[in-house]
Structure formats: structure tokens, C-alpha cells
Structure 1
């Protein structure tokens, strides 16, 4: 794959004024939603980079997804624990419906599965699942069992013990097997798969000494690979199935040290043949899944960390969007675009139908 496969499409300034926490493409690739510590959700036009709508909330916007069933509908999670489903955006306003889980805490992640019409939310240290019985109406709820207690630290190094984050914190949630299974990653408690029907744990990947903490995770489109960012140690891929999971031999490493303990978001690209991840130094890295080769780095205009990132494929194009940390003019969103017909990973052509 040529280093110039992805090219700059837009740099979106004059939108957010504080750190961007989340970005999400609509299913058709026409719109990008972004949420920030500035308590705003913005809707952008991907084609021309125009800012279409600005929505204000009572607290920071920590997570956003586009509803996979209802057109032009977003689900937003906020720092104060509120979750809202919104649509009908116009100059006169929009429709807003509250999703009530009966718990409070920052809503770090949201996922929706259309096969079972269920919304999963990581609220504080817990994962909750609720069902959309009718349009915009959610009823009932299920709280996933907490992971098992941490084992004693394998390392007795004082520095390692001081740096180890032992809090129960969710770093990613993903539906699998047509909504029957949820895979949740935790910062210090590993990765766990839950059967939502039987309400039981299927498997658990415990943290190891060389990969003790997980800052974020991503599930491939075919639900057979889970990528985890192990804090400051690079990415590792896990083969996942219904009743087991195991690490692959291939590791995905940054070509320069990461300078902080920030969570870096990831996405699979090109039908699961590549993975993209932000960095703490402002660059965006893309790896070949099969070989682990770092074959493209996309620079930001500054060295602020990439705190939000998502990739999307639609028609003839693939897109990557990232949001930066910072304040004022140093806060922005950048979008890259590539033609699928020109992308090649090794000898495999990445043409999306």
C-alpha cells in the first residue's frame, strides 16, 4: 500500500473548544458526529466539512453512536450519566428521548445491536443492557456481572505497583454473535465475554505481566478478532470465538514511545484487514493485520494527542476521523479519505462492494 493512500480531506476548526472525546460516522458516511468536554455535540457534513448543527448539554459529551435502524438518529452519553436518543435535526430544534437505566455515572461507551434491538452502555465501572421495545422507548435492563477480583501482581517492582491502575474501569464494549454475546474490556481486569441469554461468562482473558492494562479495544466486522491497546505497550490481536479466545502471534507496535497514559481509540479498516489507532504525539498509525507492519502514519497539524478516532467505509471510499485534545484553536477534528479501489494490503485488494 502506498504511503499516500490516505489524503487530507478536511480539518474542522471553529467547532469544539475543549478536548474531543468521541467521533462517529453515520452509516451512509454523509455525516460525522463529535462530542467534547465543552458540553457540545456537533453534526458535520463529511463531503464539504460544513458544521450543520450544534447541540448543548449539561455536562461533557463522552460517547456518541448513530442508531443503525432509525435514520439520522444519534444516541449520546454524557458525563453526568444521562443518555439521550435524538433525531429530527433542523433550525427549529430536534426531538430528544431519554434512555433511563436507573444508574448514575459517566457514560464512557455506547453500542447498539439491531438484531436484538438492544443498547449497551458502559456507565462508570458497570455495563448495562436495555432493550428498545418501541421506537425511542427503552424498557427493562440487565447489568453484567463484574469481572473476578484481580490476582496478586506478578511484578514486585515498586514502580510497576505504583503505576498499576487497579480500579474497575470499562475500556470497551462490543456485541457479537448477532447480539447474543457482549465482549467487555477492562483497564486492569482483562477481557470478558458474556452470554446475554444464559447470563453467564463464556471466557476471560486475564491480564499478563507484559500486557497488564487495556486502554481501549475494537472488534472486527466479522466478530472474529478483538484488538486491544495495552497501555504504552502497543496493540495486540486476539482470536475470539464463542467459548474461547487466544492472543495471536502478531503484535502491533508504535515506532516511537507513547508519552502518556491516555486511552487511544482504535478501529478496524478495510473489512478487518487493517487497524488504525491514534497516538499521544498527534500522529495516526495504520497497521496490516496479517503482518503487523506499520505501513502508514498520518500527521496532525499539532502534537496534541488523538483522543477520539473512528474509521468508516462506504461505496468507493474509506474515511478516518480523529479528534484532538487541547483548548481553543488547538482543538480540531481531521478527516482523511482514500479510494478503496486503490488500496492494497500485501497482495490482497481491499475493494469494498
Structure 2
């Protein structure tokens, strides 16, 4: 354990580590976003968005022609907020806001190739083009609503398509962005509590299935190739993530610890105990190219 970061008054709702592995953003029901220095454990900045109630998702981004980090967070009212660190400044500054969904923003994804942001709320997925100035221009034109709970959204096909994962229908739907059209829709045998996509050493989707926790599927065939046993009792969604270039799979749990699995062998590598011994929903991982180290 490197640091115990204390700053929120309730359970963590969402976290994300910057692409360089140096900074962590976190939020929960206290409606604050806290920016942390991962190396020192210091809380660098606290952003209060109380009038937007819960902050439900965060993703780090890079704007065109900029080397400064930036991030977007989504709120329970369906709004997106973009913050960027200005050159030679320590703090992140507000850049833009868009109201895009009719309920909480469940998931965000960023594609650096096309500098696009994807969002999903309680209605339909949306894709945004991010400009160098930080403005968000909507480029998707779907208005078809699905009466389902969407859990995750991510890019595939080098950013030319998105995939949306739905909880109850056990469905994964792939859409091309330009032109905007459904490419395919497939179902799996379990519900989708949480999912992540990894394209290292092949393309796979890892799904927390609310039963025996994590299944590994080939993408896009959705052939199940492996399961990682890590039973949960309360059947609540927990987050799943990958690290070490896809070699490890990390999953939260409901008994006060998270688990790291070896993706190739399926074996448990390490159990990460949390000092609060409670339900662990959120986990995030990154490999820093600067230090060649893993942060979880």
C-alpha cells in the first residue's frame, strides 16, 4: 500500500487515472471531484459541483495540439463538464459544459485517434468531437431510446465505432460513428454489471456478471474463453479493469477486498484488502510509461 487517500465523506462513485499515471481524479455522492498526486498522495485540488448533485463518471482526455492533461466528468442531471490544466498552472480550470442526457451519465470513453468523447446515460449513446479549445461538438445523430440501463460505453475499430453494454437485456450493441448506424447487436448468457475492453494481445471484453464476477470474451465474436472466480453475495455491480498491458484483470468485491487475476492462467495473483472492509465498487488501473509502474 503506497497511500490511503482520505478526502471524501462517502463511498467513491467513480475514479480515473491520467494517461501519464501521475494524477488520480475521484468523486462520490458528496458532489466533489478531488484531484490527487499519485506519487505523494496529496490532494491537489477540490472541485465542487454541488448544484449538479452526484458526479457519476470521469474520463481523462487529451485535446488536439495540447500536451496539458484534461478530464471530463458526467453528472446525475445528464451534463458533461470539461476541465483542463493550463500551461505552467497547477490547477485545472473549467472549460466547457454540455447537457446531453435525460438522466445520469453512466459511462464515458475517450478516443485519442479522432479526439472523440463517447457518453451514455439513460437514453441513447452520444459521440462528441473535442476541439483544441475544449469545445464539444455533437457528431452522433441517434434519437432512438432503449428502455434499458446502459452500464458501459467504449470505442473499438480504432475509434470508428462504439460498443454499448446493457445490464438487464445482457446485450452488447456496436454502432459505427460515421455514418451513424447499428453494425451488430449480440447477447451473452449473463447480466452485465460492468465491462471493460482491452486490445492488448488480442481484443477482449471483461464482464462482471453479478454471479461469479468476471468473464472474458473474445471481441467481436463474444465467445467466452475464461472465467475468474470471485463470488459476490449481494449481487451489486462491481467495476472490472485491466492493467500490465492486459496481463492482469482487477475486480472489486463486496467483502472489503479487490482481486488481481493473471489473465493468461486465470489464477489469483493478489488480494488487495481495503481498510474499511466494505463493498468495493470502483477500481482503476494504469501503466505509466514514465516510470513503468502500475497504479491501482
Same fold (TM over 0.5): yes
The one of 210, 213, 233 aligned to 1:231: 210
Matches within 5 A, 1:274-353: 274-314=248-288, 315-320=291-296
How far is the alpha carbon of 1:144 from its aligned partner? 4.8
Cross-structure match for 1:173: 153
How far is the alpha carbon of 1:205 from its aligned partner? 2.5
Which has the higher mean CA deviation after the structures are superposed, 116-125 or 174-183? 116-125
Partner-residue secondary structure (3-state), 1:301: coil
Output one character per residue of 1:110-145: Cα deviation in whole Å (capped at 9) or x when no partner: 111121121111122421111124421112341557
Cross-structure match for 1:64: 58
Contact 2:151–2:167 under 8 Å retained in 1: yes
Considering only CA atoms, is the larger Rg found in Structure 1 or Structure 2? 1
Cross-structure match for 1:4: none
RMSD (Å) for aligned C-alpha atoms: 2.2
Query: Any stretches of 5+ residues in structure 2 without a counterpart?
Result: none
Partner-residue secondary structure (3-state), 2:58: strand
Q: Distance in 2 between matches of 1:199 and 1:51?
A: 41
Cross-structure match for 1:161: none
Q: Distance in 1 between matches of 2:3 and 2:181?
A: 45
Matches within 5 A, 1:75-86: 75-86=72-83
Contact 1:168–1:186 under 8 Å retained in 2: yes
Aligned pairs, number: 286
Q: Distance in 1 between matches of 2:218 and 2:195?
A: 13
Q: Distance in 1 between matches of 2:167 and 2:100?
A: 24
Bigger proportion of residues as strand: 1
Contact 2:214–2:227 under 8 Å retained in 1: yes
* Cα 1:134–1:50 shift into 2, 3 Å: closer
Q: Distance in 1 between matches of 2:258 and 2:276?
A: 12
How far is the alpha carbon of 1:67 from its aligned partner? 1.3
The one of 145, 162, 167 aligned to 1:187: 167
Query: Any stretches of 5+ residues in structure 1 without a counterpart?
Result: 1-7, 149-166, 321-353
The one of 3, 8, 14 aligned to 1:22: 14
Contact 1:227–1:236 under 8 Å retained in 2: yes
Matches within 5 A, 1:247-262: 247-254=223-230, 257-262=231-236
User: What is the TM-score normalised by the length of structure 2?
Assistant: 0.89
